[in-house]
């Protein structure tokens, strides 16, 4: 039993734990909302809706529509998936 605790501690400490799909999605949406590309929109814009199809997020504001394609980086170990976004130019609604 003592070996189990050490093994558990090793995996938790070194970050070899995979995120649940819900937590991974939350992390992706937070990164989308924190991206500097959204700061190019006029100050009065309000995010109305965000939805996802496959690897593309669609973000609707009061007057604009933005497409952001998520790109996953290759990794050789378990853990949270690393990613970045490729944004399209904001289009008026």
CA angle 15–56–68, rounded 5-degree value = 90
Give dist(CA 61, CA 63) in Å, integer. 6
pLDDT over threshold 80, residue 82: yes
For 6-63, what is each residue's pLDDT tens digit? 555 555 544 556 678 899 999 999 999 999 999 989 988 999 999 999 999 999 999 9
Residue 19: the pLDDT is 72
Q: Confidence class of residue 3 from pLDDT cuts 50, 70 and 90? A: low
Burial (CB count within 10 angstroms: exposed 0-12, middle 13-18, buried 19+), residue 31 = middle
Give dist(CA 70, CA 87) in Å, integer. 9
Residue 20: the pLDDT is 85
Q: Which domains does the chain have, with CATH numbers?
A: 17-92 (3.10.450)
- Residue of 75 and 10 predicted with greater confidence: 75
């Amino acid at each position: 039993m003592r070996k189990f605790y050490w093994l558990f501690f090793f995996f938790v400490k070194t970050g070899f734990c995979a995120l649940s799909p819900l937590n991974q999605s939350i992390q992706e949406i937070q990164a989308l909302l924190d991206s500097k590309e959204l700061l190019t929109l006029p100050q009065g814009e309000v995010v109305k809706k965000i939805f996802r199809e496959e690897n593309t997020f669609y973000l609707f504001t009061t007057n604009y529509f933005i497409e952001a394609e998520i790109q996953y980086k290759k990794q050789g170990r378990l853990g949270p998936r690393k990613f970045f976004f490729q944004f399209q130019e904001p289009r008026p609604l």
